[in-house]
Structure formats: C-alpha cells, structure tokens
Amino acid sequence: IHLARETIKGCENRGRRRRGRGSSSSESELSMNPRVQRYLVAIEYIGTRFSGSQQQAKDRTVVGVLQEAFRKFVGQPVKILCSSRTDAGVHALSNVCHIDVERISKRKPGEVLPPHEPGVVQRAVNHFLQGNDGDVMVTDVRSVPSNYHARYKARERTYFYRLLSGSDPLSILEKDRAWHVPEELDLRSMQEACRVLVGSHDFTSFRAAGCQAKSPVRCLDEFNVIEVPSTPYFPSIMERAESILNNGDDPLTYPSQTKTETASDTTNFGGTFGIRRRHRCYVVTARARGFLYHQVRLLVGALKCVGTGELTVSDIERILEAKTVSAAKPMAPASGLYLARVKYELP
C-alpha cells in the first residue's frame, strides 16, 4: 500500500511538472495511458494558404488539416502538438509534432488493437491529405515513448530565409516563396552584420511586441547569409558547354557574379528569347535551440536594410544594444521564411 501511494504521488508530481512547462492535464493523462501509442511526425507544408500552424476556431491551419486527416484514419478525434509554431504564410521543409493514437477496432467497437506501424501511419495520413489542397505532407513517422514531447525534446531549430534581388518582377514560380528586393544587395556588409548578431545576446530589439517569452536572451548558434543559384531553368548539355567555353562558368553551379543578370548576358544562354532574367538569390540561415516571436523575420529585415545601405553595421550594433522592441526596422514578410529542421536525440 505504501509503495502504491508513493507511485501515485510520483505520477502526480510528474503531471504538475509537465503542466508547469505548458502541457495540459488532459495531455498528461493521455500520454500515461498504456493503450495509447505516441508518434513523432515530421511534416512539410506550403504556408501560403494557412493561417499559421496552430489550430484556430475558424481559420485553416496546418494542425487543423492534419488533425482532420488523422481523424479520418483512426476514426476518432486526435490532438496534435507541434514543436514549433509558424505564422501565416511561413513554410516548413520539416516541422515536427507528436500525436497520441489509441487504435480501436472499427469492426468491433471497444476492442483495442496493436498500434499501427509508422510506415502505415505515414501512407494512410498522406492519402487523406491529398484531398486537402495538397499543401501539407507527412515526410516521416516514428514511434516514441509516451512522455516524448515534440516541443520540449527539440535540441535546436534551423530556419532559412530567401531573398531575391533584381529589378524585374518576380517569377510566378517564386510567388509567395521569397522576399523580392528590387535593389541590389551588398553581400559583404550583410555578412559583417551577421557576425555582430551571432552568439548569445539580449534580443529585445528583435522580438515582436506580443512575445510571451520570459527572457529575451537567446543564443544564435549560426547566423549567416550566402548567395546561391536562383533559377529553376536547367540547361541542356550543349548550353552548359557553351556557357563554360565563353565564361568559364557552369550555369548549374553558383558563379561569381558582380551584377544582376540581364537578358543579354551570355551566362543566360545567349539571351535566348523566352528565357527570363534571373534574380540574385540570397539565403539567410538562423540556427538556435529556440527563437523569440518574429525574431528571424526582424533580423532578416535589418540585414536587408544593411544590404541596401539604409543601415550600417554600426547601426545594427546600436539597435541590438538599445534593447527596445521599437528599435528594429520593419520585419521581413512571412513568404520567404522556411522552418528547415528541428533536431532531436531520438530514443
């Protein structure tokens, strides 16, 4: 009897600790149910038509669509918790969530069956997602212990942000996939600004007014910007050979460029009619254990201003030291932001 009381007391204490970290009591009770299997689920999505990742009463969200697909699969409502919240318009190459599923027989209601294999879960849920605009997909599933939490077990998160620089209108293939900056960007100055921001700092100046984090201190383990090839056009062998012969550049690799390409550039395969001008593409990488609300978009907004000459590297230092929410320039739009990876130490 004494041992049973101690066990119950220990479970209650663990439940209180979970609730103190933001988990609800219902979630704690569900995760302790031995008949329930918890799955860690990786998903990718195009954020354009979503009002963010978190479920909302009326608007279409990533979690809402995913929960509906799981409901159709398992035949009962489920609750999904994401590792990282993304805003409306933000994309994910890989976001991660967890879900608890109790497999009940559809032929014999009340009969509990062995859990589905992860591969079965992935294929079945993707089947139901296909009829929902096709802008979210399950990319991986793993069975995990009942106390494995997608948010609290995450070791680090990586975001990418894409900027396309050039005076021409953005291609429809890039619509809502990048931030179009008409001006030329000074890559070297942007990289210098990144070095100021990397590391552990009080990022009060780079968080939105609605941020609920208790501390503004975050450590940016990685923060940099590079230039990468931007075109979705893939040249033939003949065109590649001609470009290398004339310019020494392979158009499938990143060439060293000094200006935005025009239709008359030889690197644009002889200025062939119908081939649009290419923009210069810059990718910002931000990696940390966690981020403040809108932190990455505010940082990128400041970097863009450095690139166009609106701000100097010294201005970035001044904004960082100001430690006030109103110090930063307007943040970058959501369309260029991608949650790239959430890293775990899997059991």
Let me know if 87 is a catalytic residue.
yes
For residue 222, list its beta bridge partners: 287
CA distance 112 to 115: 9
Q: Which two tokens stand for residue 243?
A: 């470009």
How buried is residue 88: exposed, middle or buried, by Cβ count under 10 Å (0-12/13-18/19+)? middle
Distance between CA atoms of residues 106 and 165, nearest Å: 55
Element containing residue 81 per DSSP (H, E): strand 80-82
* 248: amino acid identity, one letter: G
Token pair of 208 as six digits:
């939105």
How far, in Å, CA of 330 to CA of 333, rounded?
Answer: 9
Q: Which of 87, 140, 186, 249 is catalytic?
A: 87
For the chain, where are the E strands, in sequence order?
37-45, 80-82, 91-101, 136-144, 156-165, 179-181, 199-202, 217-220, 222-228, 280-288, 337-343
H/E run at residue 238: helix 237-247
Q: How far apart are CA 274 and CA 270, in angstroms?
A: 11
Instruction: Give the separation between CA 240 and CA 233, rounded to whole angstroms.
Output: 12
DSSP SS3 for 123:
helix
Q: Which two tokens stand for residue 120?
A: 């079965």
Nearest to 45 by CA among 66, 28, 24: 66
Q: Active-site residue numbers?
A: 87
